[in-house]
Amino acid sequence: MSTTLLLVQVLNGLQLGVLLFLVAAGLTLVFGVMDVINLAHGVQYMLGAYLMVTATALTGSFWLGLPLALVAALVLGLVLERLVIRPLYGRDHLEQVLATFGVILFVNEAVKMIWGAAPLSIPMPEALSGSIRLMDGLNYPVYRLALLAAGLLVAGGLYVLVTRTRSGMLLRAGATNAPMVSALGVDITALFAKVFAFGAMLAAFAGAMAGPILSVEPGMGDGLLILAFVVIVIGGIGSIRGAFVAALLVGLIDTLGRSFLTDLLKLVLPPSDATQAGPALASMSVYLLMAGILFFRPRGLFPAPA
């Protein structure tokens, strides 16, 4: 395995990590602040990609389509919050799982009926197509670098928003003690609605940005949802910082495991065994990581203060 290949895979891993972070951030906020398990968060990622398909087709441009898709996702998030999530506040976690699982079934099927079951693609913006030479023998697609940069930018913005602004302060206060914040005269229902819709928009942003490099298909959010849950559990529920660290960790381990684990195993196992065990072990690696971390730190890496 050469250094170039390793570098490419590290970049790919970071990029998956950034996508995971965008999805996990909303998930961990909704969970930490509102105490709602939202299984439907994955379909918001998928909806982001599909809205982007339509928005770019309508406007004929990636740059006009993106804000349009994000606004549409925000509105859908508000609608979902009002119709399904708001009645679920304070209810049993299991009932939340049941209701939001229902939303998954509905949206996946609705997407299939509206856009069809076949995979779609989003054209890559002209300015970001092509690749850039990072070092000798290493050309890397510009779009993937842009995706990485955009994700890191959003992460930075989110950090400032949560730690330095008044809304962020209310959000953190709401996570610690929602009834108290409400008693101090803050409209907690409106705050929750904003948090939920904002999280939905972040997930949609991830979907829209991933669209040009992945295929857009029904159910694309389901696998990512499970990984995002792994991320927020490793990071500690409610912690944005934890979600960021865990997302990068999961992205790197998953990507590097898939590319190098089989070769590594060949050093210690007969080749036939290694080719069989390698992919399985690579798919398992993030779950092994999670089980290991939970065993030693049952509340994740950065547990939110109780």
Partner 1 sequence: MRAAALTLAVLAALALVPLGADNYTLSLVARAMIFALAAMSLDFILGGAGLVSFGHAALMGIGAYGVGILMEEGTRDALVAFPVAMAAAGLFALLTGAICLKTRGVYFIMITLAFGQMAFFVTQSLSAYGGDDGLTLAARSTIAGQRWLKSPLTFHYVTLGLLAAATGLCALFLASPFGRVLKASKENERRVRALGIDPYPYRLVAYGLAGAFAGLSGALLANLTEFVSPAFLSWHRSAEIIVMVVAGGMAASALRAGGMGRLGGAILGAVGVILVEESLSNFTEHWRILFGPLLVLLVLAGGWRGRRA
Contacts with partner 1 by CB under 8 A lie at 31, 37, 39, 84, 87-88, 91, 93-99, 101-110, 112-113, 222, 226, 229-230, 233, 237, 276-277, 279-280, 283-284, 287-288, 290-291, 294-295, 298-300
First to last CA, the chain: 45
- Nearest approach, Cβ of residue 178 and partner 1 (Å): 17
- Nearest approach, Cβ of residue 74 and partner 1 (Å): 21
CA 163 to chain centre: 21
- Nearest approach, Cβ of residue 259 and partner 1 (Å): 17
Nearer to partner 1, 181 or 233 (CB): 233
The CA distance from 297 to 304, in Å, is 13
Taking alpha carbons only, the member of 32, 107, 106 closest to residue 73 is 107
- Nearest approach, Cβ of residue 21 and partner 1 (Å): 18
The CA distance from 281 to 91, in Å, is 38
The CA distance from 230 to 247, in Å, is 9
Nearer to partner 1, 181 or 286 (CB): 286
CA–CA distances in Å: residue 5 to residues 131, 208, 267: 16, 27, 19
The CA distance from 17 to 254, in Å, is 9
Nearer to partner 1, 63 or 101 (CB): 101
Nearer to partner 1, 148 or 243 (CB): 243
The CA distance from 202 to 27, in Å, is 10
Q: How many CB atoms lie within 10 A of CB 281?
A: 16
- Nearest approach, Cβ of residue 240 and partner 1 (Å): 17
Nearer to partner 1, 95 or 126 (CB): 95
- Nearest approach, Cβ of residue 229 and partner 1 (Å): 6
Nearer to partner 1, 66 or 282 (CB): 282
CA 254 to chain centre: 15
CA–CA distances in Å: residue 262 to residues 256, 267, 273: 10, 9, 9
